[in-house]
Amino acid sequence: MTVYADNAATTKMSRRAIEAMLPYMETTYGNPSSLHSVGQAAAEALQRARETMAGQIGCQAKEITFTSGGSEADSQAILSAAALGEKKGKKHIVSTAFEHHAVLHTLDRLRERGFEITLLDVHENGVITAREVASAIREDTCLVTILYANNEIGTIQPVSEIGAVCRERGVLFHTDAVQAAGHLPIDVNRENIDLMSLSAHKFRGPKGIGVLYTRKGVPLTSIIEGGAQERGKRAGTENIPAIVGMAAAFEEACEHMEENSAKVSSLRDRLIAGLSAVPHSILNGDRERRLPGNVNFCFEGIEGESLLLLLDRAGVFASSGSACTSGSLEPSHVLLAIGRPHEIAHGSLRLSLNEENTPEEIEYILKVVPETVSYLRSISPVWRDLECGKRKFML
Ligand SMILES: *Cc1c(COP(=O)(O)O)cnc(C)c1O
Protein backbone atom coordinates (compact mmCIF):
# COMPACT_ATOMS: atom_id res chain seq x y z
CA MET A 1 0.00 0.00 0.00
CA THR A 2 1.16 3.56 -0.62
CA VAL A 3 -0.27 6.58 1.16
CA TYR A 4 0.30 10.16 0.07
CA ALA A 5 0.07 12.22 3.26
CA ASP A 6 1.98 15.33 2.20
CA ASN A 7 -0.83 17.52 0.88
CA ALA A 8 0.48 20.61 2.67
CA ALA A 9 3.61 20.38 0.48
CA THR A 10 1.58 19.95 -2.68
CA THR A 11 -1.47 18.10 -3.97
CA LYS A 12 -2.35 15.83 -6.83
CA MET A 13 -4.27 17.90 -9.39
CA SER A 14 -8.00 17.33 -9.60
CA ARG A 15 -9.40 15.78 -12.78
CA ARG A 16 -11.70 18.78 -13.25
CA ALA A 17 -8.73 21.18 -13.17
CA ILE A 18 -6.72 19.10 -15.66
CA GLU A 19 -9.65 18.89 -18.05
CA ALA A 20 -10.33 22.61 -17.77
CA MET A 21 -6.73 23.32 -18.80
CA LEU A 22 -6.44 21.10 -21.87
CA PRO A 23 -8.32 23.34 -24.36
CA TYR A 24 -6.03 26.24 -23.46
CA MET A 25 -3.02 24.22 -24.53
CA GLU A 26 -4.52 22.56 -27.59
CA THR A 27 -6.95 24.99 -29.21
CA THR A 28 -7.31 28.30 -27.37
CA TYR A 29 -3.58 28.85 -26.99
CA GLY A 30 -3.51 32.54 -27.94
CA ASN A 31 -1.81 35.37 -26.11
CA PRO A 32 -4.49 37.44 -24.34
CA SER A 33 -2.72 40.62 -25.47
CA SER A 34 -3.17 39.69 -29.15
CA LEU A 35 -5.97 41.46 -30.97
CA HIS A 36 -7.04 38.49 -33.14
CA SER A 37 -9.76 36.10 -32.12
CA VAL A 38 -7.49 33.31 -30.79
CA GLY A 39 -5.93 35.87 -28.46
CA GLN A 40 -9.28 37.35 -27.51
CA ALA A 41 -10.67 33.92 -26.65
CA ALA A 42 -7.75 33.54 -24.24
CA ALA A 43 -8.44 37.04 -22.86
CA GLU A 44 -12.03 36.01 -22.16
CA ALA A 45 -10.88 32.89 -20.33
CA LEU A 46 -8.55 35.07 -18.27
CA GLN A 47 -11.41 37.36 -17.30
CA ARG A 48 -13.69 34.43 -16.43
CA ALA A 49 -10.99 32.91 -14.21
CA ARG A 50 -10.47 36.27 -12.50
CA GLU A 51 -14.20 36.49 -11.80
CA THR A 52 -14.30 32.93 -10.44
CA MET A 53 -11.41 33.56 -8.06
CA ALA A 54 -12.92 36.88 -6.96
CA GLY A 55 -16.38 35.36 -6.43
CA GLN A 56 -15.06 32.71 -4.05
CA ILE A 57 -13.34 35.19 -1.72
CA GLY A 58 -15.92 37.96 -1.96
CA CYS A 59 -13.93 40.60 -3.86
CA GLN A 60 -14.06 42.26 -7.27
CA ALA A 61 -12.34 40.77 -10.30
CA LYS A 62 -10.04 43.77 -10.64
CA GLU A 63 -8.71 43.18 -7.14
CA ILE A 64 -7.18 39.88 -8.31
CA THR A 65 -3.58 39.83 -9.60
CA PHE A 66 -2.23 36.54 -10.93
CA THR A 67 1.28 35.66 -9.77
CA SER A 68 3.60 32.67 -10.12
CA GLY A 69 2.40 31.33 -6.76
CA GLY A 70 2.29 31.94 -3.05
CA SER A 71 5.91 33.03 -2.68
CA GLU A 72 5.64 35.77 -5.29
CA ALA A 73 2.32 36.97 -3.88
CA ASP A 74 3.80 37.17 -0.36
CA SER A 75 6.86 39.08 -1.60
CA GLN A 76 4.85 41.51 -3.70
CA ALA A 77 2.29 42.18 -0.97
CA ILE A 78 4.92 42.93 1.65
CA LEU A 79 7.21 44.96 -0.63
CA SER A 80 4.22 47.02 -1.82
CA ALA A 81 3.03 47.82 1.71
CA ALA A 82 6.62 48.65 2.69
CA ALA A 83 7.02 51.04 -0.26
CA LEU A 84 3.81 52.81 0.74
CA GLY A 85 4.93 52.99 4.36
CA GLU A 86 8.35 54.30 3.47
CA LYS A 87 6.79 57.24 1.62
CA LYS A 88 4.96 58.21 4.80
CA GLY A 89 7.99 57.61 7.02
CA LYS A 90 6.40 54.48 8.51
CA LYS A 91 8.96 51.70 8.66
CA HIS A 92 7.63 49.25 11.23
CA ILE A 93 6.01 45.89 10.42
CA VAL A 94 4.26 43.40 12.72
CA SER A 95 4.39 39.68 11.94
CA THR A 96 4.95 36.38 13.76
CA ALA A 97 7.90 34.09 14.30
CA PHE A 98 6.25 31.17 12.52
CA GLU A 99 5.45 32.64 9.11
CA HIS A 100 6.36 30.88 5.88
CA HIS A 101 9.88 31.64 4.64
CA ALA A 102 8.44 33.61 1.71
CA VAL A 103 7.30 36.13 4.34
CA LEU A 104 10.20 35.86 6.79
CA HIS A 105 12.90 36.21 4.13
CA THR A 106 11.14 39.20 2.54
CA LEU A 107 11.01 40.79 6.01
CA ASP A 108 14.76 40.09 6.40
CA ARG A 109 15.38 42.08 3.24
CA LEU A 110 13.33 44.99 4.55
CA ARG A 111 15.22 44.89 7.84
CA GLU A 112 18.40 45.46 5.83
CA ARG A 113 16.70 48.52 4.33
CA GLY A 114 16.11 49.99 7.78
CA PHE A 115 12.66 48.61 8.59
CA GLU A 116 11.96 47.49 12.11
CA ILE A 117 10.14 44.16 12.36
CA THR A 118 8.24 42.94 15.43
CA LEU A 119 7.76 39.16 15.36
CA LEU A 120 4.99 38.19 17.78
CA ASP A 121 5.30 35.16 20.02
CA VAL A 122 2.91 32.41 18.92
CA HIS A 123 2.77 30.55 22.27
CA GLU A 124 2.84 26.81 22.73
CA ASN A 125 -0.51 26.30 20.99
CA GLY A 126 0.63 28.19 17.88
CA VAL A 127 -2.12 30.81 18.02
CA ILE A 128 -1.77 34.57 18.56
CA THR A 129 -4.51 36.91 19.74
CA ALA A 130 -5.84 40.09 18.17
CA ARG A 131 -5.04 41.88 21.44
CA GLU A 132 -1.35 41.01 21.06
CA VAL A 133 -1.42 42.37 17.52
CA ALA A 134 -3.10 45.55 18.78
CA SER A 135 -0.44 46.16 21.40
CA ALA A 136 2.36 45.68 18.87
CA ILE A 137 0.96 48.30 16.46
CA ARG A 138 2.73 51.68 16.71
CA GLU A 139 2.36 55.11 15.12
CA ASP A 140 4.92 54.12 12.49
CA THR A 141 3.48 50.66 11.69
CA CYS A 142 2.75 50.30 7.97
CA LEU A 143 1.81 46.60 7.80
CA VAL A 144 0.63 43.61 9.78
CA THR A 145 1.34 40.31 7.99
CA ILE A 146 0.11 37.10 9.60
CA LEU A 147 -0.39 33.56 8.32
CA TYR A 148 -4.03 32.55 8.03
CA ALA A 149 -3.20 28.91 8.77
CA ASN A 150 0.25 27.53 9.49
CA ASN A 151 1.68 25.13 6.91
CA GLU A 152 3.49 22.96 9.46
CA ILE A 153 1.28 22.72 12.52
CA GLY A 154 -2.01 23.71 10.88
CA THR A 155 -3.07 26.30 13.47
CA ILE A 156 -5.66 28.83 12.38
CA GLN A 157 -5.31 32.47 13.47
CA PRO A 158 -8.21 34.72 14.53
CA VAL A 159 -8.00 36.52 11.18
CA SER A 160 -11.20 38.55 11.32
CA GLU A 161 -10.38 39.90 14.79
CA ILE A 162 -6.87 40.80 13.63
CA GLY A 163 -8.33 42.40 10.50
CA ALA A 164 -10.70 44.49 12.61
CA VAL A 165 -7.83 45.73 14.79
CA CYS A 166 -5.78 46.70 11.73
CA ARG A 167 -8.72 48.49 10.14
CA GLU A 168 -9.41 50.43 13.32
CA ARG A 169 -5.77 51.50 13.58
CA GLY A 170 -5.46 52.32 9.87
CA VAL A 171 -2.74 49.73 9.20
CA LEU A 172 -2.66 47.49 6.12
CA PHE A 173 -3.31 43.80 6.83
CA HIS A 174 -1.79 41.06 4.66
CA THR A 175 -2.44 37.39 5.26
CA ASP A 176 -0.73 34.41 3.65
CA ALA A 177 -3.82 32.25 3.16
CA VAL A 178 -2.07 29.61 1.04
CA GLN A 179 -2.93 26.75 3.43
CA ALA A 180 -6.41 28.05 4.17
CA ALA A 181 -7.73 28.70 0.67
CA GLY A 182 -10.02 25.98 -0.58
CA HIS A 183 -10.10 24.43 2.90
CA LEU A 184 -11.67 27.17 5.04
CA PRO A 185 -14.30 29.74 4.01
CA ILE A 186 -12.67 33.12 3.33
CA ASP A 187 -14.36 36.48 2.82
CA VAL A 188 -11.93 39.39 2.46
CA ASN A 189 -14.52 42.01 3.39
CA ARG A 190 -15.95 40.25 6.42
CA GLU A 191 -12.40 39.58 7.61
CA ASN A 192 -11.02 43.07 6.81
CA ILE A 193 -8.17 41.68 4.71
CA ASP A 194 -6.32 44.21 2.52
CA LEU A 195 -3.83 41.87 0.85
CA MET A 196 -3.96 38.08 0.61
CA SER A 197 -1.80 35.39 -1.01
CA LEU A 198 -3.14 32.16 -2.52
CA SER A 199 -1.42 29.30 -4.35
CA ALA A 200 -3.18 26.84 -6.67
CA HIS A 201 -1.11 23.75 -5.98
CA LYS A 202 -2.24 23.63 -2.35
CA PHE A 203 -5.88 23.14 -3.41
CA ARG A 204 -5.41 20.64 -6.23
CA GLY A 205 -4.65 23.15 -8.96
CA PRO A 206 -1.42 23.36 -10.99
CA LYS A 207 1.95 24.44 -9.61
CA GLY A 208 3.49 27.81 -10.45
CA ILE A 209 0.33 29.90 -10.27
CA GLY A 210 -1.26 31.94 -7.51
CA VAL A 211 -3.18 35.07 -6.65
CA LEU A 212 -2.46 38.27 -4.83
CA TYR A 213 -5.76 39.81 -3.73
CA THR A 214 -5.31 43.57 -3.29
CA ARG A 215 -8.06 45.77 -1.88
CA LYS A 216 -9.07 48.57 -4.25
CA GLY A 217 -6.99 51.68 -3.60
CA VAL A 218 -3.91 49.84 -2.33
CA PRO A 219 -1.21 50.39 -4.98
CA LEU A 220 1.03 47.43 -5.82
CA THR A 221 4.73 47.75 -6.57
CA SER A 222 5.84 45.67 -9.57
CA ILE A 223 8.55 43.20 -8.83
CA ILE A 224 8.75 42.01 -12.45
CA GLU A 225 9.13 44.74 -15.08
CA GLY A 226 8.03 44.47 -18.69
CA GLY A 227 4.65 44.58 -20.43
CA ALA A 228 1.40 45.99 -19.11
CA GLN A 229 -0.18 42.68 -18.08
CA GLU A 230 -2.14 42.55 -14.82
CA ARG A 231 -2.82 46.31 -15.05
CA GLY A 232 0.88 47.02 -15.18
CA LYS A 233 1.58 45.34 -11.85
CA ARG A 234 2.95 42.00 -13.00
CA ALA A 235 4.64 41.81 -16.38
CA GLY A 236 4.83 38.63 -18.45
CA THR A 237 2.43 36.74 -20.73
CA GLU A 238 -0.31 35.30 -18.56
CA ASN A 239 -0.13 31.55 -17.94
CA ILE A 240 -3.65 30.92 -19.23
CA PRO A 241 -3.77 27.11 -18.83
CA ALA A 242 -2.57 27.37 -15.23
CA ILE A 243 -4.89 30.28 -14.44
CA VAL A 244 -7.89 28.37 -15.86
CA GLY A 245 -6.83 25.24 -13.96
CA MET A 246 -6.51 27.19 -10.73
CA ALA A 247 -9.98 28.70 -11.11
CA ALA A 248 -11.51 25.27 -11.79
CA ALA A 249 -9.74 23.72 -8.81
CA PHE A 250 -10.69 26.58 -6.51
CA GLU A 251 -14.33 26.48 -7.54
CA GLU A 252 -14.41 22.72 -7.00
CA ALA A 253 -12.70 22.96 -3.60
CA CYS A 254 -15.11 25.69 -2.45
CA GLU A 255 -18.16 23.78 -3.73
CA HIS A 256 -17.19 20.68 -1.74
CA MET A 257 -15.62 22.45 1.21
CA GLU A 258 -18.15 21.40 3.84
CA GLU A 259 -18.25 17.70 2.96
CA ASN A 260 -14.48 17.52 2.42
CA SER A 261 -13.82 19.26 5.69
CA ALA A 262 -16.10 16.87 7.61
CA LYS A 263 -14.52 13.82 5.98
CA VAL A 264 -10.92 14.97 6.30
CA SER A 265 -11.23 16.16 9.89
CA SER A 266 -12.63 12.81 10.96
CA LEU A 267 -9.60 11.08 9.36
CA ARG A 268 -7.35 13.61 11.10
CA ASP A 269 -8.98 13.00 14.48
CA ARG A 270 -8.59 9.24 14.15
CA LEU A 271 -4.92 9.72 13.28
CA ILE A 272 -4.32 12.12 16.19
CA ALA A 273 -6.03 9.76 18.64
CA GLY A 274 -3.98 6.80 17.39
CA LEU A 275 -0.62 8.57 17.39
CA SER A 276 -1.23 10.11 20.82
CA ALA A 277 -0.94 6.54 22.16
CA VAL A 278 2.75 6.40 21.15
CA PRO A 279 4.69 6.92 24.42
CA HIS A 280 6.78 10.12 24.76
CA SER A 281 5.07 11.86 21.87
CA ILE A 282 3.28 15.20 21.62
CA LEU A 283 0.85 16.80 19.21
CA ASN A 284 2.11 20.13 17.84
CA GLY A 285 -0.38 22.99 17.45
CA ASP A 286 -3.73 23.64 19.02
CA ARG A 287 -6.08 20.65 19.09
CA GLU A 288 -9.18 22.63 18.05
CA ARG A 289 -8.02 25.59 15.95
CA ARG A 290 -6.35 23.52 13.23
CA LEU A 291 -6.76 22.77 9.54
CA PRO A 292 -8.96 19.76 8.74
CA GLY A 293 -6.05 17.84 7.22
CA ASN A 294 -3.13 18.65 9.52
CA VAL A 295 -1.47 16.21 11.93
CA ASN A 296 1.95 17.08 13.39
CA PHE A 297 3.71 15.16 16.15
CA CYS A 298 7.08 15.11 17.84
CA PHE A 299 8.46 11.77 19.00
CA GLU A 300 11.21 11.93 21.59
CA GLY A 301 14.53 10.20 20.93
CA ILE A 302 14.33 9.90 17.14
CA GLU A 303 15.42 11.87 14.08
CA GLY A 304 12.60 13.04 11.83
CA GLU A 305 14.70 12.45 8.71
CA SER A 306 15.31 8.78 9.55
CA LEU A 307 11.62 8.35 10.26
CA LEU A 308 10.71 9.85 6.88
CA LEU A 309 13.11 7.57 5.01
CA LEU A 310 11.77 4.45 6.67
CA LEU A 311 8.19 5.56 6.15
CA ASP A 312 8.96 6.15 2.48
CA ARG A 313 10.18 2.56 2.25
CA ALA A 314 6.93 1.41 3.81
CA GLY A 315 4.99 3.49 1.26
CA VAL A 316 3.96 6.38 3.52
CA PHE A 317 4.86 9.78 2.06
CA ALA A 318 5.04 12.45 4.73
CA SER A 319 7.18 15.38 5.80
CA SER A 320 9.10 16.51 8.84
CA GLY A 321 8.06 20.12 8.53
CA SER A 322 7.82 22.33 5.50
CA ALA A 323 9.19 21.07 2.19
CA CYS A 324 11.64 23.96 2.32
CA THR A 325 13.12 22.95 5.69
CA SER A 326 13.32 19.26 4.88
CA GLY A 327 16.67 18.57 3.37
CA SER A 328 18.41 20.93 5.77
CA LEU A 329 19.45 19.67 9.18
CA GLU A 330 18.11 22.73 10.98
CA PRO A 331 15.01 21.93 13.01
CA SER A 332 11.81 23.64 11.92
CA HIS A 333 11.60 27.34 12.86
CA VAL A 334 7.88 26.78 13.49
CA LEU A 335 8.48 24.08 16.12
CA LEU A 336 11.16 26.23 17.75
CA ALA A 337 8.74 29.18 17.72
CA ILE A 338 6.15 27.20 19.71
CA GLY A 339 8.87 26.41 22.24
CA ARG A 340 9.88 22.85 21.38
CA PRO A 341 13.51 22.26 22.39
CA HIS A 342 15.94 21.44 19.52
CA GLU A 343 16.15 17.72 20.42
CA ILE A 344 12.36 17.39 20.36
CA ALA A 345 11.86 19.53 17.25
CA HIS A 346 14.22 17.19 15.38
CA GLY A 347 11.86 14.27 15.91
CA SER A 348 8.88 15.76 14.09
CA LEU A 349 6.45 14.25 11.62
CA ARG A 350 3.80 16.09 9.60
CA LEU A 351 1.03 14.09 7.96
CA SER A 352 -1.23 16.26 5.81
CA LEU A 353 -4.41 14.69 4.48
CA ASN A 354 -7.04 15.57 1.93
CA GLU A 355 -10.29 14.13 0.62
CA GLU A 356 -8.44 11.52 -1.44
CA ASN A 357 -7.22 9.74 1.70
CA THR A 358 -9.23 6.78 3.01
CA PRO A 359 -9.89 5.23 6.44
CA GLU A 360 -7.86 2.16 5.32
CA GLU A 361 -4.87 4.44 4.67
CA ILE A 362 -5.20 5.94 8.14
CA GLU A 363 -5.18 2.45 9.67
CA TYR A 364 -2.08 1.64 7.65
CA ILE A 365 -0.31 4.80 8.88
CA LEU A 366 -1.34 3.88 12.43
CA LYS A 367 0.32 0.51 12.03
CA VAL A 368 3.50 1.70 10.31
CA VAL A 369 4.36 4.88 12.25
CA PRO A 370 4.37 3.41 15.79
CA GLU A 371 6.34 0.38 14.56
CA THR A 372 8.91 2.59 12.86
CA VAL A 373 9.23 4.89 15.88
CA SER A 374 9.83 1.84 18.13
CA TYR A 375 12.39 0.45 15.73
CA LEU A 376 14.31 3.75 15.54
CA ARG A 377 14.24 4.05 19.32
CA SER A 378 15.56 0.50 19.66
CA ILE A 379 18.72 1.42 17.73
CA SER A 380 19.16 4.92 19.19
CA PRO A 381 21.91 5.59 21.77
CA VAL A 382 19.94 8.65 22.93
CA TRP A 383 16.93 6.46 23.66
CA ARG A 384 19.11 4.02 25.63
CA ASP A 385 20.34 6.92 27.79
CA LEU A 386 16.76 8.05 28.32
CA GLU A 387 15.59 4.61 29.31
CA CYS A 388 18.38 3.98 31.79
CA GLY A 389 17.93 7.43 33.32
CA LYS A 390 21.21 8.97 32.10
CA ARG A 391 19.09 11.65 30.43
CA LYS A 392 15.72 12.97 31.48
CA PHE A 393 12.66 12.49 29.29
CA MET A 394 11.24 15.80 28.12
CA LEU A 395 7.96 14.38 26.85
C1 LIG B 1 3.33 26.54 -0.09
C2 LIG B 1 3.24 27.79 0.67
C3 LIG B 1 3.74 28.99 0.16
C4 LIG B 1 4.47 29.06 -1.14
O5 LIG B 1 3.62 28.90 -2.24
P6 LIG B 1 4.27 28.54 -3.66
O7 LIG B 1 3.11 28.62 -4.60
O8 LIG B 1 4.81 27.17 -3.54
O9 LIG B 1 5.29 29.58 -3.94
C10 LIG B 1 3.58 30.14 0.91
N11 LIG B 1 2.98 30.12 2.09
C12 LIG B 1 2.47 28.99 2.63
C13 LIG B 1 1.78 29.02 3.94
C14 LIG B 1 2.60 27.78 1.93
O15 LIG B 1 2.11 26.67 2.47
Task: Express each pLDDT in 310-322 by its tens digit.
Answer: 999 999 999 986 5
Q: Rounded to a whole number, what is the distance in angstroms from the first to the last CA of the chain?
A: 31
CA of 139 to the centre of ligand 1 (A): 31
What amino acid positions are annotated as catalytic residues? 324
Average pLDDT over residues 148-160: 98
348-352 and 172-176: which strand pairing?
unpaired
Please report the sign of the dihedral spanned by the C-alpha atoms of residue 79, residue 82, residue 83, residue 84: positive
100, 290, 332, 334, best to mutate for ligand 1 pocket (most atoms within 8 Å of CB): 100
92-96, 185-189, 199-203, 381-385: segment of lowest average pLDDT: 381-385
> Does 37 score more than 90 pLDDT?
yes
pLDDT score recorded for residue 320: 87
**Where in the chain are the domains?**
3-10+257-388, 15-255
CA dihedral 158, 112, 342, 329 (to 10 degrees): 110
Q: Which atom of ligand 1 is nearest to the CA of 74?
A: 10
Average pLDDT over residues 231-253: 97
> Does 341 score more than 90 pLDDT?
yes
CA of 74 to the centre of ligand 1 (A): 9
Residue among 284, 274, 282 nearest 337 (CA): 284
For residue 133, give every residue at least 6 positions away whose Cβ sits within 8 Å of its Cβ, in sequence order, or none.
94, 120, 144, 146, 162, 165, 166
Average pLDDT over residues 283-305: 96
Q: Which atom of ligand 1 is nearest to the CA of 323?
A: 1
What is the fold of 3-10+257-388? Aspartate Aminotransferase, domain 1 (3.90.1150)
Kind and range of the H or E element at 345?
Answer: helix 342-345
CA of 100 to the centre of ligand 1 (A): 7
CA of 227 to the centre of ligand 1 (A): 26
Average pLDDT over residues 67-72: 98
Region for residue 232 given its phi and psi (left: phi exceeds 0; alpha: psi -120 to 50; beta: otherwise): left
Q: What are phi and psi of 52, to 5 degrees?
A: -60, -50
Q: What is the pTM of this model?
A: 0.96
Average pLDDT over residues 125-139: 98
**E strands, the chain, where?**
3-4, 64-67, 92-96, 116-120, 141-145, 172-176, 195-199, 210-214, 281-283, 294-299, 316-317, 348-352
pLDDT band at 327 (very low <50, low <70, confident <90, very high): low
Which strands, in side-by-side order, build the sheet including 172-176?
Answer: 64-67, 210-214, 195-199, 172-176, 141-145, 92-96, 116-120
pLDDT band at 113 (very low <50, low <70, confident <90, very high): very high
Q: Which atom of ligand 1 is nearest to the CA of 209?
A: 7
pLDDT score recorded for residue 330: 80
Q: Which amino acid residue places its CA nearest to atom 4 of ligand 1?
A: 70
> Does 111 score more than 80 pLDDT?
yes
pLDDT over 90 for what percent of the chain?
Answer: 97
Residue among 18, 4, 348, 327 nearest 152 (CA): 348
Ligand 1 shell residues, CB under 6 Å: 69-71, 74, 100, 102, 147, 151, 176, 178-179, 199, 202, 210
CATH C-level class of 15-255: alpha beta
pLDDT band at 328 (very low <50, low <70, confident <90, very high): low
**What's at 266, amino acid-wise?**
S
pLDDT digits (tens, 9 = 90+) for 254-278: 999 999 999 999 999 999 999 999 9
95, 151, 325, best to mutate for ligand 1 pocket (most atoms within 8 Å of CB): 151
